[in-house]
Amino acid sequence: MDLIYGIKDKPRFGKIVLFALQQLLAIMAATIAVPAVVGHNLSASAALFGAGIGTIVYLLFTKSSSPVFLGSSFAFLPSMFSAFAGAATLGLTEQAGYWGLIIGALMAGLVYVILAIVVKFCGVEWINKLMPPVIIGPTVAIIGLSLSGNAVGDLVKSSTANGSTYVALICGLFTLAVTMLYSTYGKKVGRLIPFILGILGGYLLATLFAIIGNISGNESLVVINYGAFKALDFKSFSGYLSLPGFTFLKGGSEGLKAVSGKYLITLFTAYVPVAFVVFAEHLADHKNLSSIIGQDLLKEPGLTRTLLGDGVGSIAGAFFGGCPNTTYGESIACVAITRNASTISIWGCAFVCIIFSMISPLVAFLETIPSCVMGGVCVALYGFIAVSGFKIFQTVDLNKNRNLFVASVIFITGVGGMVVSFGAVEIRTVACALILGILTNVMLSREDA
């Protein structure tokens, strides 16, 4: 792929701001969704702040050579549930549960540090042999395909109770159309920020429907919820600036003192096994990004650095936002579609996340973007992730039964949504498909002998 901006390129300041905002819009929905799903009064703005901090840590470790954003990890959702459930079972306070999120992320991050040390001394060639293109290609494709249900679900989802699914669909498809048209036919700047233009177009259309609906009294036309704006108190300072509800502040010193040895064991069993699973997704993401930018990130800056950046960044993110972080496929897809691999854009996005998380009206604006509008954008984002996998896969010889079976196992278990649980540990779809693909490849390795 011919990049418009390479990794070390430095666009003008105005463009950097636009690129940063676009990355923010690409990763925002998933990043703030994790604390919303977990509940326990976890702060969406704190998760955004933590993602920004975690990404900065990652960029420092990787010497600004890997253009990807770190956001809240869905893979650790069962672990986060276990942190609070374990605290309740042991009779600990919810404050201890907040520290459980931080300590659990610390344990998972240390797994990455240990793996980074192993890679440092053993190299990465064994990884390339363990996961050749016949495994990486279908796995990357599954990352996008496994998210397709979320995109389609959001595409017809209203952000209000009485909003029509048809109106939501119109807004979502309009968003998708604007995004595609600007990405394909737009001038240089338009091609670089199609997601911003698509979301703004969808937001304005949803607003137009809301105005007509409110005037005519037809609630089905209102698919956008302005509740976040209505909740702002502009008579006070908090209506303009507010400190996010950081996890370590919610836990406090009393919560930390309540953490017991039994609780640490609970956290270990909930977080550490998942870290090994997410390691596989880390590899798939960086293989995918490498194919997009034309540079093997496992060699430069090196898997050791990417693992350290991901692990330590995840710890830092959880300290503030409660959510362990991971490299985002949405961010990678944004790089692929816009052909902008400049890490300055990722730096900008990280700082924008931190700043936005403290500006109340901006947080409110992000929260009021309708689900259907984000669904329209995600159709393109998740689709590009899947297509990137197929591009890696296109050089594979499917006349060989070994390759045919490996790809078949990955695609069917991945598209079928296979999930395996062992107590509190849940191996999710992508990891299941990848692990079974590796086992199949090893089992049939004698075909090449």
Domain count, the chain: 1
pLDDT of residue 448: 58
- Identify the burial level of 239 via C-beta atoms within 10 angstroms of its C-beta, where 0-12 means exposed, 13-18 middle and 19 or more buried: middle
Do residues 9 and 218 lie in contact, with contact meaning Cβ atoms separated by under 8 Å? no
Do residues 69 and 346 lie in contact, with contact meaning Cβ atoms separated by under 8 Å? yes
pLDDT of residue 168: 96
pLDDT of residue 331: 92
Whether 448 is in a domain gets the answer no
Can you list the pairs that 248-254 forms with residues at least 24 positions away whose Cβ atoms lie under 8 Å? Answer: 248/98, 248/99, 248/102, 248/319, 248/320, 250/41, 250/95, 250/98, 251/95, 251/96, 251/97, 251/98, 251/99, 251/102, 252/95, 254/93, 254/95
pLDDT of residue 423: 64
The CA-CA-CA angle for residues 386, 387, 390, to 5°, reads: 95
Write out the residue range of the structural domain in which residue 261 sits.
13-442
Tell me how far apart the alpha carbons of residues 41 and 331 are, in angstroms, rounded to a whole number: 27
Tell me how far apart the alpha carbons of residues 359 and 353 are, in angstroms, rounded to a whole number: 10
Provide the token pair at 449.
């002998």
Whether 1 is in a domain gets the answer no
| Positive or negative torsion for Cα 124, 317, 152, 178 | negative
Write out pLDDT tens, residues 293-303: 999 999 999 99
Tell me how far apart the alpha carbons of residues 134 and 397 are, in angstroms, rounded to a whole number: 9
pLDDT of residue 381: 81
Side chain identity at residue 425, one-letter code = V
pLDDT of residue 447: 59
pLDDT of residue 405: 95
Whether 447 is in a domain gets the answer no
**Bridge partners of residue 426, in order along the sequence:** 421
Whether 7 is in a domain gets the answer no
| Positive or negative torsion for Cα 256, 258, 264, 266 | negative
Write out pLDDT tens, residues 208-220: 999 999 999 999 9
Provide the token pair at 208.
């137009």
Whether 212 is in a domain gets the answer yes
pLDDT of residue 43: 86
Full-prediction pTM beyond 0.95? no
Token pair 């997410």 in the structure block, residue:
278
Whether 4 is in a domain gets the answer no
Residues 6+ apart with CB under 8 A from 399: none
> pLDDT truncated to tens, each residue of the chain (449 aa)?
578 899 999 999 999 999 999 999 888 878 887 887 687 888 889 999 999 999 999 999 999 999 999 998 877 877 888 899 889 888 999 999 999 999 999 999 999 999 999 999 988 777 778 778 898 888 878 878 887 888 899 899 999 999 999 999 999 999 999 999 998 898 777 777 888 899 899 999 999 999 999 999 999 999 999 988 888 888 787 778 888 989 999 999 999 999 988 899 889 878 887 787 678 778 888 988 998 899 999 999 999 999 999 999 999 999 999 999 999 888 998 998 888 999 999 999 999 999 999 998 988 888 888 989 988 988 988 888 788 788 878 888 888 999 999 999 999 998 998 888 766 556 777 778 888 999 999 999 875 54
Side chain identity at residue 26, one-letter code = A
Whether 378 is in a domain gets the answer yes
